[in-house]
Amino acid sequence: MKKSLLALAVLGAFAGAASAQSSLTVFGIVDLSANSVKNGSVTQKFLGSNQLNSNRLGFRGTEDLGGGMSASFWLEGGMANDTGTGGSSGAYGFERRSTLSLSGGFGEVRLGRDYTNTFTNVASFDAYGANGFGNFANIYASTPAGLGSGATTAVRANNMVGYFTPGNLGGLYASAQIAAGEGVKGNKYTGFRAGYAAGPVDVAVAMSQTDVAAADKFKVFNIGASYNLGVAKILAQYDQRKFGALKYTSYQLSTSVPLGQGEFRASYAKGNAEGGTTSANDANLLGLEYIYNLSKRTALYTQYGRLSNKGASAITLGGPAPATAGFSSTGYGVGVRHIF
């Protein structure tokens, strides 16, 4: 009897040690706002998601393998909280991120669906991240910036193998990604990112190419930098997309200013189309935003954005576009965001 009790105690100790070496986290963001967007003479009011942060529900876990190595997974899907559906397709899945990783002193090898390096770079040097009326994606990731290439890799890529350097390189960081097309044109992606971050300074460059149905490849190059002054953080970036003779170049200058429990953000961006018949298809974007933190998890926010199209450019900040291009799109809204 005593031996049985001893054996159970030993097994219990081993089980406790094993569980202590693993972790599982359930996390998410719920973001909803009341908005009004006017495109030319057409106005639409709507309750929208993702204006401060992208809605998500996710699960991530890590197991310590010993010897400085660990295995981890990350499953994350989007939510449209105004309608109660999930993801951009309306059916909940793990379309935001679905990865399995092996990490150690060598860095991290990551497999699955993930952000592309070129998107990570532009989002990192935008005070808005990738959300809101003033965010850079309203210029660079819009229909004109795709240049009709058919590439599906503006934000994420499927079937990806990525390598990320360890975090002990004196501020240097880099990552490389290859995504298999698996017979689908526009899915095959190769991207690289490298940067340096130390103290108040962060600067990085990224480039990629995506194989599409045409002989030409869709290519992206961007570079960004930020400097934290303490009283404000200043961010600037340049992004260029090429497909054959077509080229779309965009620039952004943005800032975030802490104000007690709040934060003020401002952004100005410009997009310039070149080549073919697109040369007059330009756009300018101004964004203003104020965030008030009720707690570490919950925030109220209000925002304003104005996008001016030129030529045949017809970018909107949301809602339907009028029949005639070259219009202005103006949006404003108020919302609440909760992180769990």
Q: pLDDT digit string (tens) for 276-334?
A: 766 678 999 999 999 999 999 999 999 999 999 998 888 999 988 888 889 999 999 99
Query: Does position 6 have pLDDT exceeding 90, yes or no?
Result: no
Q: What is the mean pLDDT of residues 4-20?
A: 44
Domain-located, residue 176: yes
CATH code, domain with 123: 2.40.160.10
Query: Mean of the per-residue pLDDT values for the chain?
Result: 91
Q: How much is the pLDDT for 2?
A: 45
pLDDT band at 4 (very low <50, low <70, confident <90, very high): very low
CA distance 31 to 242: 34
Domain-located, residue 50: yes
Q: How much is the pLDDT for 84?
A: 84
Domain-located, residue 274: yes
**Least confident window among 46-60, 76-90, 145-159, 262-276:** 76-90
pLDDT band at 141 (very low <50, low <70, confident <90, very high): low
Q: Give 220's contacts (C-beta < 8 A, 6+ positions apart).
A: 118, 191, 206, 207, 208, 209, 239, 240, 241, 242
Domain-located, residue 11: no
CA distance 268 to 283: 11
Q: What is the mean pLDDT of residues 132-155?
A: 86
pLDDT band at 12 (very low <50, low <70, confident <90, very high): very low
Q: Which domain holds residue 59?
A: 24-339
Domain-located, residue 59: yes
Q: How much is the pLDDT for 7?
A: 45
CA distance 25 to 16: 18
Domain-located, residue 77: yes
CA distance 303 to 266: 10
Query: Does position 163 have pLDDT exceeding 70, yes or no?
Result: yes
Q: How much is the pLDDT for 82?
A: 87
Q: How much is the pLDDT for 142?
A: 64
CA distance 293 to 194: 33
| Residue 61 dihedral angles phi and psi, to the nearest 5° | -150, 155
Q: How much is the pLDDT for 17?
A: 44
CA distance 325 to 248: 18
At 95, list the tokens: 């379309």
Domain-located, residue 12: no
R_g over Cα of the chain? 22
**Least confident window among 195-199, 204-208, 279-283:** 279-283
pLDDT band at 86 (very low <50, low <70, confident <90, very high): confident
Q: How much is the pLDDT for 270?
A: 96
How many structural domains comprise the chain?
Answer: 1
CA distance 102 to 223: 28
- What pTM value is reported for the model? 0.90
Domain-located, residue 220: yes
Q: Report the share of the chain in percent with pLDDT over 90.
A: 80
